[in-house]
Amino acid sequence: MKIEESISHTALPWELSGEGYILNYWLSPAFTRRFQNFGLVEAKFGRIVQVILIRYYSSPVGPYDELLVLDHTTQNFKISSNIPKIYVSSQASVNEGRYHWGIPKELASFNWKHSKQQLHCDIQVGSETLSLTINLTQLKSSHAISSKLIPSRLLNIQQKDHLFLYQFSPKFKSKIAYISNATWNNTQSIFPDFSKATFLKGFYSTDFKLIFPESVKTKLANA
């Protein structure tokens, strides 16, 4: 999908706020082979990825929801992070994400249900719906964290489309609490089935701030 240059786009950087749920998984080589159609690169020894579910309460294109995989592949002992699969509930976010950062956003609808220590979200794409249930260990976020505490190579994201390579490093700050476990149902052809991966630990924040900077955009040699 190409976003035309003549369309008026939002100014950068993007400043966003909301609540987020980060699920850390260990993927076996068999898992990466099985779900390569979702953009996962096969891993000889396995690796860690993050699945991130977000409700943005404010952004340059208004409130919207998001589900994504943040992957970290290794080549020649160098880590390269990318977003191979992502859904959002806003067409404006789809357009702007592809234009500014080369992020392959797709449109979906999100239905949220909260109880005292549990979050349930149904994500519908076309006629299919996947379900994610997250059990929360603590009621309040309590541990401060920011992008300054994360190794820079994990936040240096590189995205490719058929014309360009986009490189950018988001920044964030929040207070987090722990997620005890997560349950996936009915992933079908929508998303990798993370019930087949090893859940390591999860974190959530009910109030975080995120900055998406302008990307460094380089034309690919074969474009």
The dihedral over CA atoms of 174, 177, 179, 184, expressed in degrees to the nearest 10, equals -30
Distance CA 193, CA 35 (A): 8
Alpha carbon separation from 121 to 69, 113, 135 (Å, rounded): 16, 6, 12
Cis peptide before 13 (omega within 30 of 0): yes
Domain boundaries, the chain: 14-219
Three-state secondary-structure class, residue 221 = coil
Residue 61 bridge partners (DSSP): none
Residue with tokens 């690796």: 47
> Band of the pLDDT at 143, cuts 50, 70, 90?
confident
pTM listed for this prediction: 0.93
Mean pLDDT, rounded, of the chain = 92
Between CA 33 and CA 38 the distance in angstroms is 10
Q: Residue 211: pLDDT above 90?
A: yes
pLDDT of residue 115: 84
Q: What are the beta bridge partners of residue 115?
A: 118
Instruction: Please tell me the CATH superfamily of domain 14-219, with its number.
Output: Acetoacetate decarboxylase-like (2.40.400.10)
In sequence order, what DSSP letters do the residues of 117-177 get, joined into one string? TEEEEEEEETTEEEEEEEEES-SS--EEEEGGGS-HHHH-EEEE-SSEEEEE--EEEEEEE
| Confidence bin at 172 (pLDDT 50/70/90) | very high
pLDDT grade, residue 1 (50/70/90)?
Answer: very low
Mean pLDDT of 3-29: 88
pLDDT at position 139: 62
Average pLDDT rounded to a whole number, residues 56-78: 91
**DSSP letter (8 states) at residue 197:** S
Residue 150: both structure tokens together: 């994360």
Query: Quick one: which of 132, 134, 111 has its CA closest to 190?
Result: 132
For 32, the 3-state DSSP assignment is helix
pLDDT one-digit tens code per residue, 116-142: 789 999 999 999 999 999 998 766 667
> In the chain, where does DSSP find H-type helix?
29-34, 91-101, 152-155
